[in-house]
Amino acid sequence: MGIGVLIIGDEILSGRRADKHLAKAIELLSARGMALSWARYCGDDRPLLIETLQQSFATGDVVFSFGGIGATPDDHTRQAAAAALGLDIVLHPEAERAIREAIFARRGVEAGPQQLAMGEFPAGSEIIPNPFNQIPGFSIREHWFLPGFPQMSWPMMEAVLDTHYAHLHHLTPWAEASLAVLDTNESALIDLMTDLQERFGVTVFSLPNLGGEGVPRHIDLGAKGEPAAVEAAMAAMREALTARAAPWCELGDLPAA
């Protein structure tokens, strides 16, 4: 089972707002020993959103979706999720109750049709409590539909991870480490990377850094996987680089450019 993130909104694609959900989702998952498998962005385009959700429902992955669950004309996520699953969209009784209570508590009036529309979800959905303003999100088929506002969605995602996926926390021991290789082309390191992967069963990666602002040009070369295997691979990497006379140092010891 993979874990995906779907971030929805024209304002993200146009640059009117900078996305913060992806980085936060990675942070929340990493804190629990979990990793993100994929991420997608989608604008407020209902046909495209339906197609995107059809694809993500077909994966069987756990998916956290951010945005588009309001009741304004540019919010399409609730309707698109229902269409992607071939389900009716219905007013969820628990959501209706929560919305009525929230609106009355804040404004002293009964919730109107527009407010209640925020509780219309694909048939068979369950609600996700929203501690910020009590207007719930919804879940169906391992997809968790959250508001676009970080103040609401991030605590909701944390609660979902801790309530529904606690059995997946720190399931697989994981480590990542890297060092800096100076004045070397990536092509000169491919044979070493391949050898380390085959010998230690880790994933070896390289991230070129063009340098600047006092940082020299270098390659961030490292390994990720089971902790003991990563430690052994990094020791072998240091030994091999030294034998090749390839200049390297720990990332914290990078010389000034």
Average pLDDT for runs of 10 along the chain of length 257:
95 95 97 95 96 97 97 95 98 97 94 95 98 96 97 98 95 92 93 97 95 89 96 98 96 86
My answer on whether 86 and 105 are in the same domain is yes
Q: What is the CATH number of the domain that holds 230?
A: 3.30.1370
Contact 5, 25 (CB under 8 A): yes
91 has which bridge partners?
120
Q: What is the CATH number of the domain that holds 129?
A: 3.40.980.10
pLDDT at 123: 98
pLDDT at 211: 85
**Distance between CA atoms of residues 35 and 25, nearest Å:** 9
Burial label, 73 (beta-carbon count in 10 A; 0-12, 13-18, 19+): exposed
Q: Last residue of some domain: 115, 137, 168?
A: 168
pLDDT at 1: 79
My answer on whether 43 and 24 are in the same domain is yes
**Distance between CA atoms of residues 235 and 248, nearest Å:** 13
Domain region containing 34: 3-168
My answer on whether 145 and 222 are in the same domain is no
pLDDT at 76: 97
CA-CA-CA-CA dihedral for 11, 15, 20, 25, to nearest 10: 70
My answer on whether 112 and 192 are in the same domain is no
**Distance between CA atoms of residues 106 and 32, nearest Å:** 35
Token digits for 58?
């077909």
The secondary structure of the chain in percent helix, strand, coil, rounded to multiples of 5, reads 45, 25, 35
My answer on whether 180 and 159 are in the same domain is no
My answer on whether 180 and 215 are in the same domain is yes
Q: Last residue of some domain: 130, 152, 168?
A: 168
Backbone CA torsion sign across 221, 226, 229, 232: positive
Split into its structural domains, the chain has a count of 2
My answer on whether 85 and 121 are in the same domain is yes
My answer on whether 27 and 147 are in the same domain is yes
My answer on whether 34 and 142 are in the same domain is yes
Q: Last residue of some domain: 107, 134, 168?
A: 168
Contact 42, 49 (CB under 8 A): yes
Alpha helices, DSSP H, located in the chain? 10-14, 21-30, 46-59, 77-85, 93-107, 113-116, 150-164, 190-200, 227-243
My answer on whether 146 and 161 are in the same domain is yes
**Distance between CA atoms of residues 248 and 139, nearest Å:** 49
**Distance between CA atoms of residues 215 and 253, nearest Å:** 11
My answer on whether 18 and 121 are in the same domain is yes
My answer on whether 72 and 147 are in the same domain is yes
